[in-house]
């Protein structure tokens, strides 16, 4: 603790010039400058953990609002702000970027791309989850399918490329990931029969460097897991930001559901590489290994949830691990060097699998597939976990996640592919109401064993932030924002923000003061002592 406090002071002393640029090296060593939040999940390992300790267990009860920023056009805020050297970069729905002075809360520039009124967005609201920063540029993906680079000084467009045609229902909601000289993005659209991919772009020019499809074409390994021509509309969106291991130089990207969602009859086979994690060589996009969580998914259980990287000893052997609370209600631990499956532990209610076998393949409960008159199954269609960020604390060794405990009635229907139209083959009705609930859970990161839980009134969309001050921050669908004790889950502070908490929390510091930022309803709230 005291060493971290020293670190905090040391970092503040090393005052950076305001014009300092965010380099790949700075992102790589993001843990050295906890006053900033330089990449979507805080670091390449996606810990969403802050090493700042000024706000801590002892004093968090005194947290107060420092400032509030109101977005200018109503919409759902599902974003993680970034903070670099006193400036916050916030995205507002659908694809606006605003730079804000973190001392005053005043906007200093804002950029709104031209979004045609008839864009095709099937499968999610028009949201954006944040920007990437690299070498003086700010990168944003848009709901119209573009990737745009803005000048960090004033928000002017440096380049603007079409990732893929929105008339075919491709669109972007994720925060891009900045690596050395490259910007990596994925796409949304698997509810409309797209063929998913991961792209890398030259950070300076916007030239595409490589594209790796999540659904292999004819002649490529994995194509045999698709009956007939079904691979062509196979889905496998890549719609959430991946993680990166700079030492192994491996990029981990996750993939979503096969298309059509609920009618699996038309795509017999395992449907690789949907509902999977892919380990890619960032130089070429070449696939190094893959692991499929839910083969031949028929419940829309994307595997896009954030994958968290950390090292630990398992059975006496030091391991480089990759873990995920999958939408299918299991917590997976993989070896991230080889993709070897190590364990899976159920963390939320599920009715579809008897268990996971030694190779990581689910042992199915018969009769859980959607039917024309509806089949009740758990977890719900939005999963026990979804896009909201989990958090990993190296201090407690715990993996924090807000589980969704809800059932869904899954319907199988017809699937007819028309470009740019919904291609889902059925439907799903969630069982909301007083029976469903949510829970912030702390799992032992190496085993998935439940350490504590803090129940929530409803299954919501809260991301979590852990801090070295011994805290976990999260929110509720009803607008509560909470600070829990990271060791015990005990409530230490709460406030009511007046709108569902869908934003992704971060922590940063300026002028020697630590802040926590969270969006709820139509506003971003910043708290300090």
Smallest gap from Cβ 518 to another protein, in A, equals 15
Q: How many residues bind another protein (CB under 8 A)?
A: 43
Active site residue 265: no
Nearer to another protein, 82 or 403 (CB): 403
DSSP assignment of 372-384 equals TT-EEESS-TT-S
Tell me the helices (H) and strands (E) count for the chain, helix number first.
2, 38
* Identified binder of another protein from the candidate list 191, 199, 302, 405, rule CB under 8 A: 191
Of 417-456, which residues contact another protein (CB under 8 A)? 418, 421-424, 426-429, 431-436, 456
Q: What is the DSSP letter of 425?
A: S
Indicate which single residue of 161, 458, 485, 487 sits in contact with another protein (rule: CB under 8 A): 458
Interface segment toward another protein; rule CB under 8 A; list 59-67, 166-174, 307-315, 474-482: 474-482
The alpha carbon of 161 is separated from its chain's Cα centroid by a whole number of angstroms, namely 23
Cα-Cα end-to-end distance for the chain = 19
H-run or E-run covering 2: helix 2-13
CB of 372 to another protein, least distance (A): 7
Residue with Cβ nearer another protein (224 or 414): 414
In the bound state with another protein, the residue whose beta carbon lies nearer, of 46 and 480, is 480
Q: Compute how many other C-beta atoms are within 10 angstroms of the C-beta atom of residue 206.
A: 17
372 binds another protein (CB under 8 A): yes
Catalytic residue among 300, 302, 369, 380: 300
Nearer to another protein, 76 or 140 (CB): 76
Q: What are phi and psi of 372, to 5 degrees?
A: -70, -30
Task: Give the DSSP per-residue string, 304-339.
Answer: -SPPEEEEEEETTEEEEEEEEE-TTSEEEEEETTT-
Which CB sits closer to another protein, 113 or 420? 420
Q: Is 70 in the site for another protein (CB under 8 A)?
A: no
**Restricting to residues 475-514, which ones interact with another protein according to CB under 8 A?**
476-480, 482, 494, 496, 499-500
For every residue of 85-135, which 3-state class applies, written as one string? CCEEEEEECCCEEEEEECCCCCEEEEECCCCCCCCCCCCCCCCCCCCEEEC
Minimal distance in Å, beta carbon 409 to another protein? 7
The helix/strand/coil state of 4 is: helix
The interface mask with another protein, positions 133-172, x = CB under 8 A, is: ----------------------------------------
Q: 3-state DSSP call for residue 439?
A: strand
Which residue of 411, 461, 473, 525 would you call a contact of another protein, by CB under 8 A? 411
- In SS3 terms, 201-244 reads as EECCCCCEEEEEECCCCCCCCCHHHCCCCHHHHCECCCCCCCEE
409 near another protein (CB under 8 A)? yes
Give catalytic residue positions: 300
Which positions touch another protein (CB under 8 A)? 122, 191, 372-374, 376, 407, 409, 411, 413-416, 418, 421-424, 426-429, 431-436, 456-459, 476-480, 482, 494, 496, 499-500, 521
């Amino acid at each position: 603790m005291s060493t971290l406090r020293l670190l905090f002071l040391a970092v503040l002393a090393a005052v950076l010039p305001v014009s300092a640029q965010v380099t790949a090296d700075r992102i790589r060593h993001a843990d050295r400058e906890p006053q900033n939040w330089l990449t979507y999940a805080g670091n390449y390992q996606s810990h969403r953990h802050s090493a700042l300790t000024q706000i801590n267990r002892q004093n968090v009860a005194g947290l107060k609002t420092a400032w509030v920023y109101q977005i200018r056009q109503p919409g759902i805020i599902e974003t993680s702000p970034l903070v670099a050297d006193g400036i916050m970069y916030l995205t507002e729905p659908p694809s606006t970027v605003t730079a804000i002075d973190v001392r005053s809360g005043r906007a200093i520039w804002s950029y709104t791309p031209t979004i045609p009124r008839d864009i095709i967005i099937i499968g999610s609201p028009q949201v954006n989850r944040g920007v990437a920063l690299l070498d003086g540029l700010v990168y944003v993906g848009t709901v119209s399918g573009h990737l745009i680079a803005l000048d960090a000084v004033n928000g002017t467009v440096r380049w603007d490329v079409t990732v893929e045609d929105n008339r075919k229902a491709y669109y972007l909601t994720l925060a891009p990931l900045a690596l050395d000289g490259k910007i990596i993005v994925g796409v949304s659209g698997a509810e409309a029969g797209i063929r998913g991919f991961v792209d890398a772009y030259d950070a300076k020019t916007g030239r595409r460097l490589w594209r790796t499809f999540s659904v292999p074409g004819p002649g490529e390994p994995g194509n045999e897991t698709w009956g007939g021509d079904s691979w062509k509309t196979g889905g496998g969106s890549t719609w959430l930001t991946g993680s990166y291991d700079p030492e192994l130089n491996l990029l981990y990207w996750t993939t979503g559901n096969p298309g059509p969602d609920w009618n699996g009859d038309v795509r017999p086979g395992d449907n690789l590489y949907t509902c999977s994690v892919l380990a890619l060589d960032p130089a070429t996009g070449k696939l190094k290994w893959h692991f499929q969580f839910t083969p031949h998914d028929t419940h829309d259980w994307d595997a896009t949830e954030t994958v968290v990287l950390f090292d630990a000893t398992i059975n006496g052997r030091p391991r480089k691990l990759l873990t995920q609370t999958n939408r299918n209600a299991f917590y997976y631990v993989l070896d991230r060097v080889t993709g070897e499956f190590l364990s899976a532990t159920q963390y939320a209610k599920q009715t579809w699998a008897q268990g996971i076998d030694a190779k990581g393949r689910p042992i199915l409960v018969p009769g859980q597939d959607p039917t024309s008159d509806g089949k009740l199954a758990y977890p719900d269609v939005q999963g026990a976990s979804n896009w909201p960020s989990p958090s990993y604390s190296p201090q407690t060794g715990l993996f924090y996640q807000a589980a969704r405990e809800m059932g869904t009635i899954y319907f199988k229907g017809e699937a007819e592919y028309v470009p740019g139209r919904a291609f889902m083959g059925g439907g799903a009705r969630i069982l909301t109401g007083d029976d469903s609930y949510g829970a912030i859970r702390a799992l032992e990161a190496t085993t998935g064993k439940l350490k504590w839980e803090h129940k929530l009134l409803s299954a919501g969309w809260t991301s979590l932030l852990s801090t070295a001050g011994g805290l976990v921050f999260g929110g509720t669908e009803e607008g509560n924002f909470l600070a829990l004790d990271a060791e015990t889950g005990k409530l230490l502070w709460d406030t009511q923000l007046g709108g569902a908490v869908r934003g992704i929390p971060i922590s940063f510091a300026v002028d020697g003061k630590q802040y926590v930022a969270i969006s709820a309803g139509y506003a971003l709230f910043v708290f300090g002592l």
